[in-house]
Amino acid sequence: MRASDAERERVAETLREAVAEGRLEMDEFEQRLDATFKARTHGELVPLVRDLPVPGAVTARKGSSAGWPARIGGEPTSSGAFAFWGGFSRKGRWTVGRQFTAVAIWGGGEIDLREAHFAERDVVIRCYTIMGGMQVTVPPDLNVQVRGFGIMGGFGEHSKLDEEPEPDPESPRVRVTGFALMGGVGVERKRSRAEKRRLRERLEDPDAGDGRKELG
């Protein structure tokens, strides 16, 4: 879809707020701003502010992953993975497609959604493993449903968190399906290193940034 002048200006305003709050360095701000006014389609604008909050937005509540709405939308960077006598890994900053299919045969795979973006709000991740293993790691507040089954193996969800948070209503809805034949697929809720650091800082200073509204 072609982008309008008003859409480009809204993106530019988001970038100005981000650099004023210290979220962007000046050189990156200038690069994104230049790309904003050169953009011709909506798809070119979305990646420029995908990792930034909307100006004036309220920060995420305690224990949640910040900025879920900003992490939904955009073109998928990966729609599947395959491992045969080896392994695969999808982690860090990547965009999950509406359907993501992973297959591991006599091998293993890692799917980490803690820093991922999502092309759409509803996502299906299909995991199939034969004599292998697959690990799906999700943030604590992601809305996840596990519907797979194991044959001479296991397919299930587990958590090592001391406290189970409620799913964030603004998070994507992820459904993990598939089967494990003589192998296993595990879905684990786990905090990222950045979130663990924020929790430690909050324990050291309980009054620091606990659900307050950002300035700007």
Query: pLDDT tens digit string along 108-163?
Result: 999 999 989 999 999 999 999 999 999 999 998 899 999 999 999 899 988 777 66
End-to-end Cα separation, the chain, in angstroms: 30
Give the pLDDT score at 63. 42
pTM, rounded to two decimals:
0.62
Q: How confident is the model at residue 201 (pLDDT cuts 50, 70, 90)?
A: low
**Is the same domain home to 127 and 175?**
yes
**Is the same domain home to 16 and 81?**
no
Contacts of 163 (CB under 8 A, 6+ apart): 63
Give the pLDDT score at 129. 96
Structurally, the chain folds into a number of domains equal to 2
**Is the same domain home to 105 and 185?**
yes
**Is the same domain home to 114 and 15?**
no
- Mark out the alpha helices in the chain (DSSP H runs): 5-20, 26-38, 42-49, 193-204
Name which residue leads in pLDDT, 154 or 57.
154
φ, ψ at 122 (rounded to 5°):
-105, 120
| pLDDT-above-90 percentage for the chain | 42
Cβ burial of 4 (10 Å; 0-12, 13-18, 19+) is: exposed
136: in domain: yes
215: in domain: no
Which residue range(s) make up the domain with 182? Answer: 71-193
216: in domain: no
**Is the same domain home to 177 and 82?**
yes
**Is the same domain home to 41 and 144?**
no
**Is the same domain home to 13 and 81?**
no
Contacts of 110 (CB under 8 A, 6+ apart): 87, 88, 89, 90, 91, 134, 135, 137
| pLDDT-above-70 percentage for the chain | 80
Query: Position 164: which residue type?
Result: E
**Is the same domain home to 97 and 185?**
yes
Name which residue leads in pLDDT, 154 or 74.
154
**Is the same domain home to 25 and 90?**
no
Distance of CA 166 to the CA centre of its chain: 17
Helix axes 26-38, 5-20, angle to 10 degrees: 180
Q: How confident is the model at residue 199 (pLDDT cuts 50, 70, 90)?
A: low
208: in domain: no
pLDDT surpassing 60 at residue 97: yes
**Is the same domain home to 91 and 45?**
no
Q: How confident is the model at residue 4 (pLDDT cuts 50, 70, 90)?
A: confident
